[in-house]
Amino acid sequence: MQKKTLLPLAVVIVLGIIAVSYVLMQKEEAPSTQENNPNIATSDDKDDSSEPTTSEEGWKSYSSSELGLSFQYPEKASNMVSGLDGADGFVPVKVTEDVEKGAIYITYGPSDTLQSLRNETVNATLEDGKSDPWTKPFHGWMIAVKRIQGDDELNAFVKDYYGKGCYVDGKNELSQKDVYEITFKGEDWDKGADLGSTTCSWTPIYKILRAENSNLLISINRGGEASFDDEDGILNSIRFN
C-alpha cells in the first residue's frame, strides 16, 4: 500500500518541477517589447527612409534620382479655377521635371508643357533685373532644387531670392533624419513694414526644406490660393533620396 501511495506523489512532484522550470525559462527568453518590436516608436526614432509617407488611394509617386527628391501627389484635383475642371469636376495632375533648371512642377493646366512652364516661371524679376527662377506656374506648384554648402550659403540664398533684408531665424526638425524646415525673418518686420515696403518679401506661400547630409535645399512655391485639396498630403510625403 505504501508503494502505491508514493508513486502518484512522485509523479506530481516531477510534473511540478517541470512546470516551474518552463515558466522560468519563458521569463528569461521573453523579448523586451520596446526593444524588439519595430512598430513601437520611441522618442529617439527618426524616419531614415526615402519613401514618402502618404499612401492613399488615388495618389501617384514621383522620384528623381537627378534632383534627389521623391514625393506623392493626387492623380486628380478639384480645387481649380473656373473653366479648367473636367466633366466630373476634376482635372488630372501631372509632374514635369526640369533637370536643367533644377525645378519640378506639379500642375493641373490642361496644356502645360515644359516650355510653357518655363515661360510662366520667369516673368517676375528681382530688384537687380535678373529673372527670378522661383516664380510658380499659373496652375500649380513649383519646387526649386538647389545645393547649399553651409549656413553662409543658406543665408546668401535667402537674401538673393526673398529679399536683402531676410535672414535665417531657425530650423524645425522633420520626421526624416537630418531634414529641417528653414524659418527666417525680415530685418524690418518688427518696424511695421508691410508687404509692399519690406526688404524681405517672404510669405507663408513658400516652404523651404533642407537636407543637411546631402546639402540639398528645396524651395516650394504654392501660391496665394490652394492649388490642391490635400496640400499637406503632398508636403508630408516629400523625401530627400
pLDDT of amino acid 45: 45
In this predicted structure, the answer to whether residue 199 has a pLDDT above a threshold of 80 is yes
Q: For residue 151, give the H/E element and its range.
A: helix 150-162
Closest by CA position to 49, among listed 199, 175, 187: 175
Per domain, the residue ranges of the chain are 2-30, 59-240
Closest by CA position to 58, among listed 31, 24, 32, 92: 92
How many CA atoms lie less than 13 Å away from 181 in the CB half-sphere?
A: 11
Residues 158, 184 contacting (CB under 8 angstroms): yes
pLDDT digits 0-9 by tens, 30-69:
443 334 333 333 334 444 434 444 456 889 999 999 999 9
Q: 11: phi > 0 → left, psi -120 to 50 → alpha, else beta; which?
A: alpha
The CA distance from 157 to 26, in Å, is 60
The answer to whether the predicted template modeling score (pTM) of the entire model surpasses 0.75 is: no
pLDDT digits 0-9 by tens, 90-129:
788 999 999 988 899 998 877 788 888 887 776 444 444 4
Q: Determine the average pLDDT of the residues in 138-146.
A: 88
The CA distance from 215 to 150, in Å, is 8
H helix runs in 30-141, sequence order: 33-36, 114-120
Q: Determine the average pLDDT of the residues in 79-90.
A: 60
Confidence of residue 18 (pLDDT cuts 50, 70, 90): low
Grid cell in block for residue 213: 547630409
